[in-house]
Amino acid sequence: MDKKYDHKKYEEQISKMWLEGDYFKADAKSDKEPYCIVLPPPNASGKMHTGNVLMIAIEDLLIRYKRMKGYEVLWVPGTDHAGFETQTTFERKLKKEGKSRFDFDRKTLYDTIMKFVLENKSAIEEQIRQMGASVDWSRYRFALDKESIDTVVNTFEKLEKDGKIYRDNYLVNYSFKWGTTFSDAEITYKDSKTKLVYVRYKVVDPEDNQPEYIIVATTRPETIPVDTHLAINPKDESKKWLLNKKVLNPLTDKEMSFIEDNYVDVEFGTGIVKITPAHDKADFEVGKKHKLPIINLITLEGKLNEKGGELSDLSILEARKKAIEILQQKDLIEKINEEYENVVPVDYRSGDYVEQLVIPNWFVKVDEMRDMALNVFEKGDLKIYPKWREITYKRWVENMHDWAISRQVVWGIQIPAWYNVDENPEIKVSYLDPSGNLQNETIKEALEKYSLKEVEEGIQSLIAPAGATYVINTEKPGERYIQETDTFDTWFSSGQWPLITLGYPDSDDFKKFYPTSVLETGWEIITRWVSRMVMFGMYLTGEVPFKDVYLHGIVRAIDGRKMSKSLGNVINPEEYIEEFGVDALRMGLISGTANGKDFNFPRDKIIGYRKFTNKIWNMARFMLMMIEREGYDEKNPLPFWSKDYKEKAESEMIEQDDEILNKLVETIKEVENKIDQYRFADACDAIYHFMWNEIADKYIEDVKSRDGKSKEIGLVILRYVYLNSLKMLHPFMPFITEVIWGEMPRKCDNPLVISNWPDK
């Protein structure tokens, strides 16, 4: 053996050996008890970050431990398309080339992104291998594989048949310039000087001591025609009287009533807010909470519709001007703050104004699924570790609204819904015409100039009116149909990930390994991801997709803050792998947190475990050296520890021998116990101290000084204790333990440590 353990020399070699030996392939036909983890799929075009490393370290620890204990183990690897994240990465790349997504038709854009992702996909797969993850590569899945898409589409069809799918208005950021929506992340805010108009609202039948008018400040007077309510803060005693009163809408003269909501800031303006659910994000939420009507005022062309009365057909800015004029004529303006500064949303590309308005989106009714996802705790079907995270899950699921599952992005699974273009002439299409120019118009207008085929080929996106008729089908149902351009929310597909990867509904894997044993992931996605998987699992199979959920903490930077590119404190795991090795990095990270709390990147612990690898390496060397020095070799081997040997040697064994053997059993029990409780840091600690303090510092020193028969007994026991420690350590430090195992003469048929958990 070399004098030092050189991780660079061995890690690649061992990893290759595991891969070629196909040791991690699960057998669905096996009689052994199943143990299964589905790897939370990293972004296919992404790179390994410290969170991924921790995730893999913990899961590999569980997987190797259970495999060694004799379970039929399956760990399914996969990568996610990560819809929006990938598309923005890609668009940044396009921007560098002086292009944008609006230069492409939908299909070309999709194909180009796919190519980009496939080119980058192997990097993360390679990193998973490098980490020593004992996943079953034969079952690898990508979120946009045909099988994945089939499962997701089938689920959508089932939901539709069960009456769970509907289309409804949903507030989105809409750009008139591009004729499409922008996600929240694509919106930036621009400072802008806007008139803050203080408008008088006439109180209907005021009491003697009450004012005749109340005053409301607004920057959007043009939306007044569709306002039906005003809001006050429930803590604002001075305005309580308004709750029993009505006021007149200053533009339509219709009566309006009041609601109470904490969202209202008592200090701002006059402490009274007009609520426009159709055209303001906050108001939309308030409106939903109080079940207020959503009345659209602004059209996809950026003009006011017939609800605007005198303002109809004007653009937003024209209407605003006109509204102020009308109010002035009616003498309903108290004052105007011309200097008011606010921020307006603009799209990240052109800086053009983006309007918040409601357009039809696809929704899933969640009522039934939500209840199922909450009841799992009562029956004890699901346990969350650490337990205090349960409340986050429950609170979120309880408050869950119907789920808007459509996204106006290309990179994802296209919703399998089709509109008949003759029945729905008002569908708004954005498409590149045959000469490559971007057009925004209705399908009817488009078809007057071009064939349906031409429009379809150039299409970027479409928006079908709320009442549009549609057919759900995987294939084009007829000549005159055009497919919905929206894709599913990433969580809609990743929420089915355990089902997708295990081949729901009737594969052997599904029968053997579903429900899986544990879901291990970061707590940050407990609401968005974990809850969705529970919902889909319950809905489709009647069973929770995993028995336990273990949530690890987030690895923060060394300075205690969250890692972020802008802070420049992102830790690249590759550097640590290079310097200290995968084993030290894995074990250091695992021991960084005992209870699932966030923790700072534990650099000191990684260095500590790096020293530890060298220590156990030298323990092995020294032990082999002592055995050799005592004259043992292949012809005259050192006896193995066994029941027989023990009986013969018992009378000559001394206190230290019994002690180390007892401590070995204690340590095995403790490590098992801690792993079973998901207390991984404690398990690390137990092995570390047993090997270093008990074996190296005490027992080896003792054996070193012995002679004759006593020395032989010492060496026999030492080797036995050491090899069993190696086994225990293997799930934590798979590489070095495998290397040393290969160097050791041992009484065991299996040349690999991977299937040998110690007996007590």
Partner RNA sequence: GAGUCUGUAGCUCAGUCGGUCAGAGCGCUUCGUUCACAUCGAAGAGGUCAGUGGUUCGAAUCCACUCAGACUCACCA
- Interface residues with RNA (CB under 7 A) are 3-4, 196, 217-220, 262-265, 268-274, 280-282, 285, 342-343, 388, 391-392, 395, 524, 556, 560-562, 592-595, 597-600, 602, 604-605, 607-608, 610-611, 613-615, 618-619, 621-622, 625, 677, 679, 681-682, 685, 692, 696-697, 700-701, 704
Classify residue 411 by its DSSP letter: S
Cα–Cα distance for residue pair 506/499, rounded to 1 Å:
10
- Chain Cα centroid distance, residue 637: 55
Tell the smallest beta-carbon distance from residue 168 to RNA (Å). Answer: 18
Q: Which residues pair with 420 in a beta bridge?
A: 481
Strand order, beta sheet including 383-385:
383-385, 546-552, 516-522
Q: Which residues have CB under 8 Å from 354's CB, separation 6+?
A: 173, 174, 175, 182, 187, 345, 346, 347
Q: Could you tell me how many helices (H) and strands (E) the chain has, helices first?
A: 24, 30
Q: Which residues have CB under 8 Å from 221's CB, separation 6+?
A: 197, 199, 320, 323, 324, 327
Tell the smallest beta-carbon distance from residue 550 to RNA (Å). Answer: 15
Tell me whether residue 241 or residue 622 sits nearer to RNA (CB atom). Answer: 622
Instruction: With CA atoms as reference, report the closest residue to 553 among 674, 336, 385.
Output: 385
> Residue with structure tokens 């270093």?
692
> Residue with structure tokens 């570790």?
385
Cα–Cα distance for residue pair 217/749, rounded to 1 Å:
83
Cα–Cα distance for residue pair 142/42, rounded to 1 Å:
10
Longest dimension (CA), the chain: 114
Classify residue 276 by its DSSP letter: -
Tell the smallest beta-carbon distance from residue 391 to RNA (Å). Answer: 6
Q: Where are the alpha helices (DSSP H) in 292-407?
A: 316-329, 367-375, 390-398
What is the three-state SS of 693-746? HHHHHHHHHHHHCCCHHHHHHHHHHHHHHHHHHHHHHCCCCHHHHHHHHHHCCC
Tell me whether residue 76 or residue 671 sits nearer to RNA (CB atom). Answer: 671
Tell the smallest beta-carbon distance from residue 281 to RNA (Å). Answer: 4
Cα–Cα distance for residue pair 194/571, rounded to 1 Å:
43
Q: Which residues pair with 298 in a beta bridge?
A: 304
What is the three-state SS of 184-225? HHHEEEEEEECCEEEEEEEECCCCCCCCCEEEEEECCHHHHH
Tell the smallest beta-carbon distance from residue 354 to RNA (Å). Answer: 13
Tell the smallest beta-carbon distance from residue 137 to RNA (Å). Answer: 32
Tell me whether residue 5 or residue 514 sits nearer to RNA (CB atom). Answer: 5
Cα–Cα distance for residue pair 530/534, rounded to 1 Å:
6
Cα–Cα distance for residue pair 542/536, rounded to 1 Å:
9
Tell me whether residue 376 or residue 555 sits nearer to RNA (CB atom). Answer: 555
Task: State the DSSP string of 540-578.
Answer: HHSS-SEEEEEEEPPEEPTTSSPP-TTTT----HHHHHH
Count CB-CB contacts under 10 A for residue 158: 13
Distances (CA, A) of 507 to 22, 500, 502, 512: 21, 11, 7, 9
Tell the smallest beta-carbon distance from residue 696 to RNA (Å). Answer: 5
Cα–Cα distance for residue pair 189/353, rounded to 1 Å:
9
Classify residue 612 by its DSSP letter: H
Tell the smallest beta-carbon distance from residue 579 to RNA (Å). Answer: 11
Cα–Cα distance for residue pair 217/197, rounded to 1 Å:
5
Tell the smallest beta-carbon distance from residue 726 to RNA (Å). Answer: 14
Cα–Cα distance for residue pair 282/84, rounded to 1 Å:
23
Tell the smallest beta-carbon distance from residue 593 to RNA (Å). Answer: 5
Asked if 263 and 282 count as a contact pair (C-beta separation under 8 A), the reply is yes
- What is the torsional sign of CA 735, 739, 742, 744? negative
Classify residue 145 by its DSSP letter: S
Strand order, beta sheet including 481-483:
471-472, 417-420, 481-483
Asked if 169 and 360 count as a contact pair (C-beta separation under 8 A), the reply is yes
Instruction: Decide the pairing of beta strands 72-76 and 34-38.
Output: parallel
Tell the smallest beta-carbon distance from residue 184 to RNA (Å). Answer: 8
